[in-house]
Structures are given as structure tokens and as C-alpha cells.
Structure 1
Amino acid sequence: MVGVFRRSISFPNKTPVKPSLSHHVRSISLPCRSHPLIFQLKDQIANLHSWSLNSDSHTAAWICDGLNHLKTVHNHLDDILNLPQTRDSLRHHPHWIDKLLEHFLRFVDVYGIFQTLILSLKEEHSAAQVAMRRKDEEKIALYVKSRKRLARQMAKLVSTVQKKTKIAEQGQAGVTADLAAVIEEVIGVTTTVSLALFNGISESFGTKKITWKWTRLDSVTKKVKKSAEEEKKGIQEFREIGSENLRELKKKGKEETKIAMKKMRDLEDWISDIENGSQRVFRSLISARVSLLNALSQQQEHKN
């Protein structure tokens, strides 16, 4: 009799473990790789750094070039601030936005004041040209006084721009290092261009006094050198029309008066160019600040 053998089937005691797959968890903040707009903004900031290095010749054209670059920088920043991912990132940090808004409000204020001052200068400068043609020394003297007053007002704008407000630390989740760093750089170049503009006009029209007292020869030499250095300060075209060019018109010859008149006409054109450039910067500053306010309002809406 043949035995019956049962067939047995064995199963492994443990189920095979699937190999773990390496994967990357995506952040809810801005992507690790910078947005192309940030790279474009960095290029524009680099242009302004190069511009500031060419400051040996402080001309009106140099100032206008800086204002044009600055307007482009703020336009690029505004584009970045309006990106959905940027707004989503910023709305988590209202305190940080508040600090940025303080900076932008200060810039908006000083450029608003500058617009009023430069418009007043244009009107007084036009009146001074009429006075020069008529050789009205009394009105010319009033123009010289108004320029000194403008220099003092420009010096106040310089002090306002130089006030530093610390921006809150950006090391919280949601605000990338690239975004925070590039905004810091925008504030830095805005300060640089603004100081070049306001200081330039202040130094051009300010009173340069050197007191001469009995002193040692080396001290006199130092004062002479200091005086020469002072003469180089300011904006070249503004500096060329000094008080000495405007006073005692009746004693000046026909050719000398003609040269002074031409310089005044050229300066009028440069004043208009600077006014237009600063006005474009003013508008771009307002636009960027509105974008920041929109990000803050979104954060408040999400809270509610």
C-alpha cells in the first residue's frame, strides 16, 4: 500500500519590506531657488553700486542717471512684492512688514518734500534769469538768499535719510534669505542715491565760510587745501553758478554776463531733469509701499 504524502506550502514569516524612497518635502514658503525677478533686481542693484563708484565727477547727469537706476530698482521690487508666493510669504510676518513700511514711509516723505522744494527752486531760478537780464541786483540778492535757505532744508532731508531703523530679523519660516537680503539692499541703494542728491544740492548752495585769523603757516596751508576740497563738493552745474557770479551784475562786462546767463539756462534744464527723475522715484516708492500694505491687509483678512 502506497503511503499518502501531503504537499506542504511554506510562506515566509515576514512580509518583504519595500525599499524606502528618498523624497523631498516641499516648503510652504518661497521656493529655495530664487525667482528670476530677484535675479533681475540684483542686477539692477549691481548697476547702482557701479554708479556710486563713479562719483568722482558729481555732475547733474550723474545724479539723473542714479535716479533712473533707482526707479528701475523699485519697479522690479514692486513686481516681486506682487507675486502670489511673495505675498503668501510676507503675510505671516506683520512685524517685519511694519518695519519695512517705516523705511518706505520715510523715503516717501523726504521725496515728497523734495518735490515741493525743487518746484520752488525752478520758479525762483526763472525769476532770477529775468532779474539778470534787467540787472536787478536786489532780486538777485533775494535769489541768493533763497538758495542758502534751500541748502539748509536739503541738509534736514539728509539727516532724515540717515536715521536708521533696524529691520526685524528675518529668520522665521516663510521669509527666505534671498527675499530679505534683496529688500535690505534696495533700502541701502535708495539711501545712497538720496544722500548723493540731497547732499549735492546742499553743498552746492551752502555758504562756505573760512575764518582767517593770525595763525601758523601750516594751519593756513591746511585751510587753503580744505577750501579747495570744499569747492569740489556738490553738483558741478549747480556749483558753477556761485554767489560771486550773480552779484554786482552792473560791473560785469557783456561777455561775462552772457556766459553767466548761459549757465543759468543750462542749470534750469538740469533742475527740470532732476525734478522729473525724482518724481519717478517718488511714484515707484509709493507703489512699492502700497504693495507692502496689501500684503499686510491680506494677513489681517486671514486672521479674521
Structure 2
Amino acid sequence: MAAPKFSSHTRSISLPSSSHPLLVNAEEHLQRLKSSEAASSPSHSLACQRLAALKNLYECLDDVLQLPLSQQALSNDQEVLDGSLILLDICGAVRDIYSQVNESVQELESSLRRKRNGDLADEVSSYMISKKQLNKMISKCYKELKKAEKNCNLTLVNKDSEKVPLVDLIKEVRETTLTVLESTLSFLSPSKAGSLVSKLLSKNASSKGHSNIAAMEQIEMELHLLNKNNSNVDVVKGLEPLESSIQELAEMLEIVFRLLLKTRVSLLNILNH
């Protein structure tokens, strides 16, 4: 499966040596996070690492926004405020998708445990209906991500001639945040559907050993095992670690969402001061 391609910008904000230490620290957090963009395979561990790094970056950025220099640099920058709302909306959408996928998998596991063996056509059908709705949500989210990335890139290219380090930093953080959110979404489902049929027909079709396969495809592959007379217990064992990974990422996305909200509140306070 081909994972979505992310932008590989290597720009450095090149903050002047006289910049505030907190501003320099935030830049260092940003550059460390950007260095992880080279790895493109969707995996739980990589998604966790990137979200944890994003959390650290926004905690550092919040400290920067409390500085007096922030009031001077951002007092008239409506574009930065608008960008914070876009990030909040997209992060909220990715978080909601993860929450709904997690709920669907938990319901499926519950049905498998309850019935143990027997006809599960209704339960599988219910999941597939849920999956169609989730795929629509994911597709819409990818479109919003691509639109936001395009607008962000245009903003970064068409900078004012007078360089403002804090404004540049925030715009770079926005670009990297979009990349991380897209990467996180790709763990659930790729931006372009691959040939799942060939994977399902594979002799060894199983979530085990296929860490490069998106989570929703892994779920479908586990369900395919039910048609091969595998016990419900075996399928549940295949779903449990996947459900745990999805739940952990959903919780981390909630933390990032709250930090994005806090950043937006700080920006509103600065602009309305």
C-alpha cells in the first residue's frame, strides 16, 4: 500500500541570535518534528511519536505566546488567527473519526465474544455499513487537509518582505501540524484506496506481520478470516491490539486538540488586547 506523500520542506526559520530562548526552543522542537517526515509508512508507533512531539511543540509555543514580544508581533495578524481555527477544525475531525472507528471495533469485538461461534452476518454487515460512513468522513477530511496544506504553502511562499520570526514560526508549526494530522489519518486509511482484494486473497492474509497496512484494511482482513472458518476467539485476538492502538491515538488526538484550542484562545487574547 502506498502511503500518502507528505511535503518535505526543509526550510529553517533562521531566527536571529538575539531571539528569546523560548522562541529558539520552539524552533528546535519544530525542526525535530519535521525531521520525522521522511518516514512515510503508516504505523502506530510512528503516529504516537509524531503526536507526542506535536504535543511538546504546542506546550512550548504556548509559553512563547505568553511573552510580551508576542503581543507586539501578533497584534494585527488576522491570518495567524484564521489559521488556528482551520487547524482546530481539522484536528477535531481526525479525532472524531478515530473515536468512531474505535467505537465500531469495540462493538464488533463485543459481538464476537458474545456469540463465540455461529452466524455473524448481521454484525459484520453492521460494521461494513459503519465503515462506508467512516470512509466518507475520511475522504472529506483528506480534502480539507489538502486544501489547508495548499493555502498554508501559499502563505509561506508569499511572505512579507519584513521577516517576523514569531509569525514565521507559527506558520511553519501550522504546516507541520497538518502533515502530522495527515500522517495520523493514514494509519487508519490511505488517501487513495489500494487493492484490498489481492491482500484478502493472499494465503497469509492477516494483520500479523502487515504493519504497513492501514488499520481499517487490517480490520477487514480479520473479518475475512471468519469466512475461512477461523474461530471468533482468534479474530478477536487479531482485533484487540488494533483496537488498543486506535484508542491510544484517539486519546492523544484529544490532548493535541485541547492544546490547539488553548493556542487559539491565546491568539484571541493577544488580538483582542
- Contact conserved, 2:92 with 2:257, CA < 8 A, in 1? yes
- SS of residue in 2 equivalent to 1:203: coil
Task: Find the counterpart in structure 1 of residue 184 from structure 2.
Answer: 197
- Contact conserved, 1:204 with 1:239, CA < 8 A, in 2? no
Alpha-carbon distance, 1:100 to partner: 1.1
- Contact conserved, 1:111 with 1:282, CA < 8 A, in 2? yes
Share of identical aligned residues, percent?
Answer: 26
Alpha-carbon distance, 1:117 to partner: 2.6
Please tell me the residue identity of whatever aligns with 1:37.
L
Alpha-carbon distance, 1:112 to partner: 1.9
Separation in structure 2 between the aligned mates of residue 238 and residue 79 of structure 1, nearest angstrom = 36
Q: Give CA deviations for 1:97-126 in whole Å, capped at 9, x if unaligned.
A: 211122111111122223333222222111
Task: Find the counterpart in structure 1 of residue 256 from structure 2.
Answer: 281
Task: Find the counterpart in structure 1 of residue 238 from structure 2.
Answer: 263
Alignment match of 2:167 (pick from 160, 180, 189):
180
Task: Find the counterpart in structure 2 of residue 127 from structure 1.
Answer: 107
Change over 3 Å in CA distance of 1:137–1:40 after alignment to 2: same
- Contact conserved, 1:67 with 1:277, CA < 8 A, in 2? yes
Unpaired runs of 5+ in structure 2? 1-14, 199-208
- Contact conserved, 2:142 with 2:191, CA < 8 A, in 1? no
Aligned length: 239
TM-score, length-scaled by structure 2:
0.76
Separation in structure 2 between the aligned mates of residue 126 and residue 132 of structure 1, nearest angstrom = 10
Separation in structure 1 between the aligned mates of residue 268 and residue 213 of structure 2, nearest angstrom = 39
Alpha-carbon distance, 1:239 to partner: 5.3
Task: Find the counterpart in structure 2 of residue 162 from structure 1.
Answer: 146
Alpha-carbon distance, 1:64 to partner: 1.3
Please tell me the residue identity of whatever aligns with 1:191.
L
Please tell me the residue identity of whatever aligns with 2:264.
R
Alignment match of 1:245 (pick from 210, 218, 222):
222
- SS of residue in 2 equivalent to 1:241: helix
Task: Find the counterpart in structure 2 of residue 42 from structure 1.
Answer: 27
Change over 3 Å in CA distance of 1:130–1:31 after alignment to 2: closer
TM-score, length-scaled by structure 1:
0.69
Q: Give CA deviations for 1:89-148 in whole Å, capped at 9, x if unaligned.
A: 322xx2xx2111221111111222233332222221111012223242211122133223
Alignment match of 2:97 (pick from 117, 142, 151):
117
Matched, 1:78 2:62: yes
Alpha-carbon distance, 1:79 to partner: 1.2
Alpha-carbon distance, 1:260 to partner: 2.4
Q: Give CA deviations for 1:154-178 in whole Å, capped at 9, x if unaligned.
A: 1211211222335474445xxx532
- Contact conserved, 2:188 with 2:215, CA < 8 A, in 1? yes
Separation in structure 2 between the aligned mates of residue 197 and residue 40 of structure 1, nearest angstrom = 25
Change over 3 Å in CA distance of 1:111–1:234 after alignment to 2: farther
Separation in structure 1 between the aligned mates of residue 210 and residue 132 of structure 2, nearest angstrom = 15
- Contact conserved, 1:60 with 1:235, CA < 8 A, in 2? no
Please tell me the residue identity of whatever aligns with 2:18.
R
Change over 3 Å in CA distance of 1:204–1:259 after alignment to 2: farther
Task: Provide the aligned C-alpha RMSD in A.
Answer: 3.0
- Does 1 or 2 have the higher relative contact order (CA < 8 Å, sep 6+)? 2
- Contact conserved, 2:111 with 2:123, CA < 8 A, in 1? yes
Change over 3 Å in CA distance of 1:122–1:275 after alignment to 2: same
Change over 3 Å in CA distance of 1:98–1:253 after alignment to 2: same
Task: Find the counterpart in structure 2 of residue 215 from structure 1.
Answer: none
Please tell me the residue identity of whatever aligns with 1:124.
S
Matched, 1:88 2:72: yes
Q: Give CA deviations for 1:26-72 in whole Å, capped at 9, x if unaligned.
A: xxxx99711111111111112212222233x4211111111111111
Separation in structure 2 between the aligned mates of residue 35 and residue 76 of structure 1, nearest angstrom = 12
- Contact conserved, 2:106 with 2:243, CA < 8 A, in 1? yes
- Contact conserved, 1:129 with 1:261, CA < 8 A, in 2? yes
Alpha-carbon distance, 1:209 to partner: 6.8
Task: Find the counterpart in structure 1 of residue 201 from structure 2.
Answer: none
Unpaired runs of 5+ in structure 1? 1-29, 212-231, 299-304
Separation in structure 1 between the aligned mates of residue 260 and residue 252 of structure 2, nearest angstrom = 13
Separation in structure 2 between the aligned mates of residue 101 and residue 292 of structure 1, nearest angstrom = 6
Alpha-carbon distance, 1:241 to partner: 2.4
